[in-house]
Amino acid sequence: MKQYLYRLGIAGLATMQVMMLAVALYLEVFGDLEPEFKNYFRWVSLIFATPVMLYSALPFYINAWRSIRSRTLGMDVPVSIAMIFAYFASLVATVTEKGEVFFESISMFAFFLLVGRFLEMRARRKAAAASGNLLKLIPAIATKLDGDQVPVKTLKLGDRIRVLPGEHVPADGKIISGRVHIDESMLTGESVPVVKTIDDHVYAGTLNGEESFELEVTSSKADSMISNIVRLQDEAQLSKPKIAEIADIVARYFVAIILVIAAGTWYYWHQANPDDAFWIMLSVLVATCPCALSLATPTALTCATSRMGNYGILLRKSHVFETLCKVNHLIVDKTGTLTHGDIVISKVDLIADVTESKALAIAAALEAHANHPIARAFKRYSDKQTVVDNVENVIGSGIEGTYQGKQVKIGSASYILGESAFAEPNSVYLSIDGVHIATFRYQDPIRKEAQSFIERFKKSGIKITLLTGDSQANADVVAKEIGIETVIAGAKPQDKLEYLKQVDERDITMMIGDGINDAPTLAGAHLSVAMGGGADVAKASADMVLLGDHLERILEARQLALQTRKIIRENLAWSLGYNLLILPLAVAGLVAPYFAVVGMSASSIIVVSNSLRLLKEQGK
């Protein structure tokens, strides 16, 4: 940024000085200028224009040379050709005292083009700063339990540290003592602090409340949640969606066509009017430079990606903005997605001769091997004396293992009681050696925003399907309350994926889920969203991760995607329209080089300024 400011400053100062001299040369405001004065003004203009050519315009030459070496035609190729031709032609005219000079066009061209690039760089910097600022929240020093202070980067897995009130958490880890309120707004966008107790995970950079607590480190700084977010955001910005790739290809062909047209223009005017042929060719090169076309998409996507981060949404794939605009079929999981997933065991029905505490302990030992909201509900009942071996996770059905030489299983009614069993709502079943011994009743409140979330998607004409591995009874209760008509329940992971393959080919699907059993469907959908509190494998399979688990953020993301598409289309329409309008005028010799510079630069600045609107709050 500093280098660009230096280049921009030199180009701006030189342009002002050269333009004052150019006014005298063009208009001869002092009357008929004596030849020696005219030549003096040209030499002074040459002195001012030379630093612009050698320093300010250097990035254009470097980019043009890279394009030529890689056998592509970037937009800096015609820019560099036009500037070099104009400079050396004006230099010859100054030395020989014959012909016209266009030092003011060279300086102005470099200045306005640098202004456009500077605005684009500023937009990218704002987006990068949003990510970079996250890393600054991680403190440099951590305090160990013995009071020693050590650099955070030296912390190892298993180290135990103390976090004092009002401090930022130095590393990802789990709480080993204390009950605290953690401000996770920098991750989720949600300002209300979250209550954390023993065995809950906290993340580096989040802010501790008014109580100190002890923490066991579970991730290095490089593998922390914040570092992964920054890394994924950088990857999302570096990877190009299809519309950006198409724009780049169009720009390359456009440059090739411009070079051919410029050569043809020179040849025609060399036959018709040799004195003007060079300058008309120069006008064609400058006026039709596809700078605005090349800036149209990347600047808009950069600003939109930064805005998405403010919503607490992490982008993992580059096609999100395009696909989000086209979605016409929403497929959503139930537990942990439409419901909070903050499940509590409300009642235990004992079927066989076993105590409630023993049944809960066996269930907790089995569920300790799963990462699902229902499994987490059993965590508080774990007992170190109750050990289950040979555990196998039957995804979509339940878990089985060996306890004191007996087979124990926990899961759905069909898995424990048989396919024909009647499944009661919100129930999990436990068996020992095939004998049903206990039924656990649980409560899982529906998210308060779930109903309005579904209603707004329905108003947009989007089909909605509830696709869950839970029982039909549980699914129907939730579907009825929030207004979903199409319900597919009891679906195993392969069933979910099979359903996805069977949907209408015209449907552009968006899947929202959080569990291991959702991972195949998340990977297979056109667009997938994983809940931030869900399983790691689900987040790894998704195109977007909803860090704060707030469904309304997806609606905001869709509005942003639609706004981004609109701005990209406006940018492309403006840049293509301008080039198509100015090209015949330039070929006809009706556009002077200095006017071509202003028009081309103005179109780039308009495109970048239009894209910067995406950084503003929607609706403001």
Write the DSSP symbol of residue 138. S
Q: Extract the runs of DSSP E, i.e. beta strands, from 413-541.
A: 427-432, 435-443, 463-467, 486-488, 509-513, 527-531
| Structure tokens, 357 | 């505490």
Cα 163 to Cα 11, 138, 154, 208, 338, distances in angstroms: 52, 12, 16, 7, 34
Q: 461-479: string of b/e by CB count within 10 Å (b at 16+)?
A: ebbbbbbbbbbebbbeebb
Nearest residue to 362 (alpha-carbon basis) of 322, 394, 414, 403: 403
Q: Check if the beta carbon of residue 565 is closer than 8 Å to that of residue 296.
A: no
Q: Are strands 527-531 and 509-513 parallel, antiparallel or unpaired?
A: parallel
The position carrying tokens 């840049």 is 575
Sheet of strand 486-488, all strands in order from the earlier edge strand to the far edge: 313-315, 544-546, 527-531, 509-513, 329-332, 463-467, 486-488
Position 60, amino acid: F
Other C-beta atoms closer than 10 Å to the C-beta of 502 total 7
Cβ–Cβ < 8 Å for 542, 520: no
Q: Are 75 and 289 in contact (CB under 8 A)?
A: yes
Looking at residue 429, its amino acid is Y
In single-letter form, the type of residue at position 387 comes to V
Tokens 């300010």 correspond to 56
φ/ψ (deg, to 5) at 426: 50, 55
Cβ partners under 8 Å of residue 108, min gap 6? 15, 19, 594, 597, 598, 601
111 DSSP 8-state letter: H
Catalytic residue selected from 76, 333, 444, 543: 333
Give the C-alpha separation, 566 to 558, whole Å.
12
Task: Kindly provide the b/e burial profile for residues 269-291, where b requires at least 16 CB atoms within 10 angstroms of the residue's own CB.
Answer: beeeeeeebbbbbbbbbbbbbbb
Asked whether the beta carbons of 543 and 318 are under 8 A apart, the reply is no
What residue type is assigned to position 112 of the chain? F
Q: Please answer whether residues 309 and 234 qualify as being in contact, where contact means their C-beta atoms are separated by less than 8 angstroms.
A: no
Select from 213, 188, 197, 192 the least CA-distant residue to 205: 188
32 annotated active-site:
no
| Residue ranges of E strands in 239-295 | none
Dist. CA 378–CA 440, nearest whole Å = 10
The pairing of beta strand 435-443 with beta strand 344-350: antiparallel
Task: Sort strands 486-488 and 463-467 into parallel, antiparallel or unpaired.
Answer: parallel
What secondary structure does DSSP assign to 553-585, as a single string? HHHHHHHHHHHHHHHHHHHHHHHHHHHHHHHHH
Chain Cα centroid distance, residue 525 = 18
On the 0-12 / 13-18 / 19+ scale of CB atoms within 10 A, 84 is middle
Residues annotated as catalytic are: 333
